[in-house]
Structure 1
Amino acid sequence: MLQALRRVVLAAALASGSAAAQLPSFEQVRAAYHPSDALLLDRNGEPLADIRFDLTRRRFDWVPLAQFSPALREALIAAEDHRFYEHEGVDWRAFVGSLWHNLLHDNKRGGSTLTMQLAGLLDPAIAIPAAPGARRSVGQKWDQGLAAQELEAHWSKAQILEAYLNLAPFRGDLEGVHAASAVLFGKSPAALDRPEALLITALLPSPNGRAERTARRACARAKKMGVGNLCPRLYELAPRLDTPRNRPRFTLAPHLARRVLHAGGERVTTTLDAAAQQAASSGLRDALQGAAQRVSSAAVLVLDVNDASVRAWVGGLDPLSPDAVTTVRSVQSALWLPFSAANLIERRLVTGASLLPNSSEGESPWRSMRVALQQPESGSQAAMLAMAEPPAERLRQAGLELPKDSAASPELTLLQAAQAFRPFVAGGNWQAARWQADSTAAAARRLWRNDTAYIIADWLADPTQKGAASELQRPDGGWQAVWRMSDPTRDIAIAMHAGERYLIAVQVAGSGSGAEQPARLAARAIAAIQHHLGNPPSRAPRTPSGVVLGVVAFDPPVEPARREWFLRGTEVSLSVAPGRDSTLAHKIVTPEGTSTGALLRSGEALVLESAPATPDARWWADDELIGEGATILWAPPAGHYRLELRSPEGVVWDRREFTLSYPDDDTTREHAPGGGASQSEPRAPVRAPR
């Protein structure tokens, strides 16, 4: 009887073939498949965020058959079509059995094979009616059998099974095992174990049935397969079937995802690093813990110092909040201070030792240029800005604009601030940040000379600075340039920290005060992010050839003598406040400053005299110590000399250059190394006539 029925169906299929001819090929089905979600990936392909665009159904990337777990394929065949590899589209035994069952019982039983179910998924004309409890008509069932026969004639068993696993409906709007396994169990189809596979395949007869009933169905199937011991695990897993189905799977970089993802099926690879992104997100949360109610927005941007690629982009603590990385904010004019300082340095108008008037009450009336930049909250910033207007063209080259109203506060985004700060630690080169891996890196352009950038970075990396930015310094002793700025009302702060590898920019806005003030929260966030990153201490940048290191003292002595970097040719040993008559400055009295030459007769010596008389003064000639005291006698051989008067700490107080001659003694005309008296002809020091 079964053979006769099979021959009738085959003949009908050959005679009609109209519905079957409309079925697409496997290649057409796969090409027409479009995921509902777009995916954001880090530089190594690790998922960072996803966005759903198709709200009618949720399905993820098409999965090849080999990437479904063997446990899933076994459970599917056992539950839905255990003679799948034997029939040619219709399982006649199951078909006749279900026919008799449906004639004798009220509870209807289907006899569809996997091939027949797939045919129903591909052809809307023979799909299960959408109405609850509705079933296919006899005619639709007949056409479904015909279509299944046609599929088996043109598709392989592997293709039928692969397409079914990618298209079968599961819970709610979940379509395909990939979506079901990822949403319900947080796993890829390849990672499903046996209990999970049994539970997923138990959904197929009734995708939206109660979780407990689905677990009973899966348990019954497990017992038939001889693995009834899995039943407790099935009931334990059953509540996961009611997992919310519309939540994103990955939430590490939702704000950047909204910026770059536009359609389902997109897979955008970024320059971000998942570990750095996690460190930035965790560090920000740690820093704001307990103060979140006072914070209106917060953001972190991490740039690679070498190529300006984005390694972390945290637009806020709430995934649905506006992206604070690109939100325009007002900040105080201190933003321009590094630009103004660099402009003055590059024009050779000032050095790090130049003294500026300080208007802060109760403090020293002078601050050096270095300290004024380190302490933008001090009263010296007005003097710095007054010396040179912010270089508008340089600011435009850095992607910034001066406000048209001079009284208005500058406006910028965190992204712009980080891009503008980076050249100071990147050899003076500005580069637009990029965050998509397939985008071409923007060409670097020279914003500052390398030596100028090096000097500004050295000021900002000074571990001895006492300003507010000192809170940003890491305790590990590594090189680190820091900068912080806030608006006049102190409801927003931007803090930046740059080392050898990363530039970290943090923005916090809120109404906190004291320890919860935005500037302090931003500093805490920098420290927390550094801790989570776990990078080794940074090394200082390579010293460019255009700078020299010297020791400088101050008159008045408002700051201790220190080592300072200068553009070559601008170095000074004593920085005197403008308008001050530095009568207390240590100077060389003889030889006189106007003299470029000196004559001695045989047996005489030079008198080297300083004022004021300081017993611990040091005399150096051509970098070798020749004596100590306010006055010494010196009888070197003839030659050209660079004479310096230094403090015991090595600060150069004054210097002279002159040529010494002995016109009546030809044997002493050669300059002996070290600038001392000729050892071949020792001389008794004799005071020369003055």
Structure 2
Amino acid sequence: MKPSWLLAALLACGSAAQALPGFAEFRSAHKVSDYLLLDRHGEPLQSLRLDKTRRALPWVPLAQMSPALLQALLLSEDRRFYEHSGVDWGAVAASAWGNLWNERTRGASTLTMQLAGLMDADLARPAAGRSATQKLGQAISAKRLEARWSKAQILEAYLNSAPFRGELVGIAALSQTLFGKQPAGLDAQEGAIAAALLRAPNAKPAVVAQRACAVLKEQGLSCAGVEGQLTAALQRRAGMPLGEQLAPHYARQVLRADGPAAQRSSLDGRLQRLAVATLKRQLAELGGRNVEDGAVLVLDNASGAVLAWVGSSGGSLSTAPELDFVLARRQPGSTLKPFVYQLALEKRLITAASLLDDSPAQLSTGHGLYLPQNYDRSFRGWVSARAALGNSLNVPAVRLGAMLGADALFERLNSWGLALPESGGYYGDSLALGSPDVSLLALTNAYRALANGGRWAPVPGRPQRRVAEAASAFIVGDMLADNSARALTFGLDSELATRGFAAVKTGTSKDLRDNWCVGFSERYTVGVWVGNAGGEPMHGVSGISGAAPVWQALMAYLHRDQLSKPPAAPPGLLRQTVAFEPGGEPARPEWFVRGTEQARMRASAQQATQQMAGIANPRDGAIYALDPDIPPAAQKIRFEGESGVWVLDGKRLGRGARLSWAPWPGRHELKLLGSRGQVLQAIKFEVRGATLKTASAATAQR
């Protein structure tokens, strides 16, 4: 009669063996330590370390493992693997009973038995060695495995589950961490080292090298260099797994939102790769201008799917590569102007052909007088709304914002998803020029809503909700796509010009800290931000010279095979030729909301040249808040008044009724002297955020 303990062991082991999983089930339960983000085509884009206690990478099929590795493994661990059915009885017969289960040599412990020990925690080998019950159970489980699994499946499962050295589990973690290559690329020496580490994962390097050498000699191969190669492998720092690391910020977003189970993303690998490379190349070309960081976002207009998400320029350029500047809040500058015009069009305050007053304006604020300036520091008198938006004129935008009211504009901007943190009264008239902080994600998605005719939805997601009238959203898009309308400021061959339809706007924040380029085509919306992680001002870099080249490159790639077509006009619009008063803009076809059309545009009043004694401009107590998009060479303040001698801060500047002065930050006193040297008038004013320092800065373009 068998001893009771043996009978109990057999029953227990049989039950455990019956519970062994199938190969597919075991493979699906494989837990990795690193989250792997895939693009929409299944291409790996990014890895993130999740488990700090062990390093196990994605499962590797047997066909993707080096033949040299497999040969070394069988020579070292299980020579008769393809001959036995789980237990090598020949090895058992060659050993004394007392040494049968002695795993210091693994002579009788087959790969199948070792896999059984890895699969069942009850059969795992403790530090003091397995008990008789565990040894018997291991043999029974091995027999069961051999009956249900193929030899190839056993080899594959073993090499993906076996512990190697330290934290490394599985052949993928070993080969990528120690040898810097995929398992398919392991050579004979590396395969021998891997097999030796399986025998004794934490043995001293000399012992591992000796065992690897023995495996090589059995194959008739030289051992020269094995010890050095092992030393170099063990000294490698365990960094990221092999492969491109293209989307760390987006991978963290997906991981937070969906957890590690969701690996395939909406990103397009080729587009993501291009966005990363284009941003880095543009920042390199801006070398010496104190700009180190940037971000890129590409959205699908219809679905809101994220096709590219570059949160930072990366560790080689950025001082804060972990920060995600797709989500960071920065001042958007003139990129908010389209939403001002859209609301004014919707409320029928203007049409695209309406003449707006582009003349010096002084607006009261809680901090003094606010004097908005234009891009080139000149004023154009009466200009159409189309030309005012296209050329990014500040004064008309501020006037429209004042007509709308800060609270109404604030509410509408928030309906576009910008989530402004303060109130309309807090921002005041500067709201129209982009003073609040917004994220690239929110701003790009707001432009996507413009592309969708005023229908907004989260990224990604549904349902859409209407936040603006379709007709006025269409007209604003048409204005932003009009290359001729922006020619006075940007020229006809700027970085904003595209082969097909694209509506686009640039912007730069105060003191050149941030610049942007955001726009949409028929199918895509692209947003680009360029600046510094720490918020330091850039030198002579603006939306057209900093962010726009990246935007144009991505838009050209997206429509490399098919040109973007203009959208169809929504109901309620008509196109009519409009003529402007003599001396105005050339006649052109223009879009109108039905009922607002006009065949001829005439200014309601003419700007009269001020003829008055003393100083007409600037006014006493004026504070000049200059637009940072203005090129330094063009940042002139015009002194106007009675003809005389102009004296600034005690220094004589010149004579006449008008004089241009390159601004310098600080408080200033301006005097106008008469023909006999008498003071006709003295005023004080302040300049903020404008400098004219270097020749290179003076030639910068917007």
Alignment of 1:299-310 (within 5 A): 299-310=295-306
Q: Tell me what 1:350 maps to.
A: 350
Counterpart selection for 2:237 from 229, 238, 244: 244
User: Superposition pairs for residues 319-358 of structure 1, below 5 Å?
Assistant: 320-332=321-333, 334-358=334-358
Q: Distance in 1 between matches of 2:357 and 2:267?
A: 45
1:155 positional shift: 1.5
Q: Which amino acid aligns with 1:150?
A: I
Q: CA deviation at 1:574?
A: 2.3
Corresponding residue for residue 277 of structure 2: 282
Q: Is 1:525 aligned to residue 550 of structure 2?
A: yes
Partner of 1:578: helix, strand, or coil?
coil
- 3-state SS of 2:590 partner: strand
| Displacement of 1:269 | 2.2
- 1:462 is aligned to 2:462: no
2:414 paired with 1:399: no
Q: From 595, 604, 610, give the equivalent of 1:578.
A: 604
Q: Alignment partner for residue 429 of structure 1, among 429, 448, 455?
A: 455
State whether residues 47 and 245 of structure 2, in contact with CA within 8 Å, keep that contact through their aligned partners in structure 1.
Answer: yes
Q: Secondary structure at the match of 1:507?
A: strand
Amino acid across the alignment from 1:46: E
The DSSP-based 3-state class of the residue aligned with 2:37 is strand
Could you tell me how far apart the structure 2 residues matched to 1:295 and 1:365 are?
Answer: 36
- 1:448-505 deviation per Cα after TM superposition (whole angstroms, max 9, x unaligned): 3433222211111111213666686455532221112232333122211322332110
Per-residue CA shift, 1:149-185, capped at 9, x if unaligned?
Answer: 2122321263543432221112331111233344455
Residue 374 (structure 1) shift: 1.9
Q: Is the 8 A contact 1:288 1:525 kept in 2?
A: no
Aligned match for 2:10, one of 14, 17, 21: 17
Give the equivalent residue in structure 1 for 2:689: none
Superimposed CA distance per residue, residues 217-236 of structure 1 (whole angstroms, 9 cap, x where no aligned partner): 5565345345x389889987
- Contact 1:346–1:452 under 8 Å retained in 2: yes
Give the aligned residue type for 1:325.
V
In structure 1, the partner of 2:620 is: none
For 1:547 and 1:264, locate their aligned partners in 2 and report how far apart those are by CA, in whole Å: 47
Structure 1 counterpart of 2:639: none
Question: Is it true that 1:370 corresponds to 2:397 in the alignment?
Answer: no
Contact 1:508 1:521 in 2 (8 A): yes
Partner secondary structure for residue 482 of structure 1:
strand
Tell me the equivalent position of 1:173.
167
Match of 1:81 in 2: 78
Whole-Å separation in 2 of the counterparts to 1:299 and 1:85: 55
Offset of residue 125 of structure 1: 7.2
Q: Is the 8 A contact 1:89 1:113 kept in 2?
A: yes
Give the Cα–Cα distance (whole angstroms) in 2 for the partners of residues 11 and 29 of structure 1.
33
Query: 1:270 matched to which residue of 2?
Result: 265
Please, what is the CA RMSD of the aligned residues? 4.1
Q: Residue 325 of structure 1: SS of its match in structure 2?
A: coil
Instruction: Give the one of 126, 134, 151 matched to 2:141.
Output: 151
Matched AA of 2:502: Q
Answer yes or no: is the 8 Å Cα contact 2:508–2:542 preserved in 1.
no
Partner Cα separation in structure 1 for residue 2 and residue 53 of structure 2: 36
Amino acid at match of 2:418: L
**AA at the equivalent of 1:383:** R
Matched, 1:479 2:473: no
Please state if 1:42 is matched with 2:32.
no
Residue identity opposite 2:388 in structure 1: A
1:177–1:189 CA contact under 8 A, matched in 2: yes
Q: Tell me by how many angstroms 1:348 deviates.
A: 3.1
Residue from 192, 195, 214 that aligns with 1:201: 195
Taking the aligned partners of 1:15 and 1:92, their CA distance within structure 2 comes to: 23
Deviations 1:343-390 (A, max 9, x none): 222333322221111125643222211121123353322222223235
1:317 aligns with 2:313: yes
Residue by residue over 1:166-219, the C-alpha shift from the partner in whole angstroms, topping out at 9 and shown as x without a partner, is: 211123311112333444556665676766545533432243568898677556
SS at match of 2:395: coil
Relative distance call for 1:193 and 1:31 in structure 2 (3 A) is same
* 2: CA distance, partners of 1:195 / 1:10: 48
Q: What TM-score do the two structures reach when normalised by structure 1? A: 0.70
Residue 515 of structure 1 contacts residue 521 of structure 1 at CA under 8 Å; is this kept in 2?
no
Contact 1:307–1:431 at 8 Å: present in 2 too? no
Does the residue aligned with 1:379 lie in a helix, a strand or coil? Answer: helix
> Which secondary structure state, in structure 1, belongs to the residue aligned with residue 380 of structure 2?
coil
Q: Which residue number corresponds to residue 580 of structure 2?
A: 554
Q: Deviations over 1:3-53 (max 9, x none)?
A: xxxxx9999965743774556613486575422222222112222222222
- Provide the rounded CA distance (Å) in 1 between the counterparts of 2:480 and 2:287: 28
CA shift in 2, pair 1:119/1:428, >3 Å? closer
| Aligned residues between the structures | 556
Deviates more, 1:191-200 or 1:342-351: 191-200
Instruction: Give the Å deviation of 1:261.
Output: 1.2
What does residue range 573-612 of structure 1 map to in structure 2 within 5 Å?
A: 573-580=599-606
**CA 1:370–1:29: 2 relative to 1, 3 Å:** closer
User: In structure 1, what is the Cα distance between the partners aligned to 2:226 and 2:302?
Assistant: 52
The reply to whether residue 495 of structure 1 matches residue 517 of structure 2 is: yes
Q: 2:2 and 2:488 mapped to 1: Cα distance?
A: 89
Take 2:446 and 2:106, find their aligned partners in 1: how far apart are those partners? Answer: 68
* Cα pair 1:353 1:368 within 8 Å, conserved: yes
Instruction: Measure the CA separation in 2 of the matches of 1:9 and 1:466.
Output: 99
Q: Cα deviation per residue 1:65-90 (whole Å; 9 max; x = unaligned)?
A: 56656654444223310112334544
- Change in Cα spacing, 1:13 to 1:176, as seen in structure 2 (3 Å) is farther
Q: What is the deviation of 1:237? A: 9.5
User: Taking structure 2 as the reference length, what is the TM-score of the superposition?
Assistant: 0.68
2:381 and 2:180 map into 1 onto residues whose CA distance is 65
